[in-house]
Amino acid sequence: MKDNPVKKFFRCQYVCMGIILLLIGIALAAIGYRVQTEKGPYYGWITVLGVLGMGFGCLCFLLSLTRKEKHQHKLLNRKKNQEQAIKKD
């Protein structure tokens, strides 16, 4: 039975961390916006934390994509080297 592509995608720790940080950042930004409308004293700090959370979430997600691309490139190079070794023999 084949692996579910969604489960395979979420095995990467950077993808999971990125999605979690994005969700936390969005929630904090929404809370900060809500507190701002009620004239709360700390809405600025809450919003800044939300934006930072979203930024780090995006960075983690992009890091996972670049790591995946490097891994695929490495596997492709290994396959080419094996084919060249077979041709030499």
> Contact 44/72 with Cβ under 8 angstroms?
no
Name the least confident of 11-15, 25-29, 30-34.
Answer: 11-15
Query: What is the token pair recorded at 15?
Result: 């993808």
Q: Which of 18-22, 34-38, 53-57, 69-73 has the lowest average pLDDT?
A: 34-38
pLDDT of residue 1: 44
When pLDDT is cut at 50, 70 and 90, the band that residue 9 belongs to is low
Helix (H) / strand (E) element for 20: namely helix 13-37
Region at 39 (left for phi over 0; alpha for psi -120 to 50; beta for the rest): left
Q: What is the pTM of this model?
A: 0.68
Residue 60 to residue 52: CA distance in whole angstroms: 12
Contact in structure between 50 and 32 (CB atoms under 8 Å) = yes
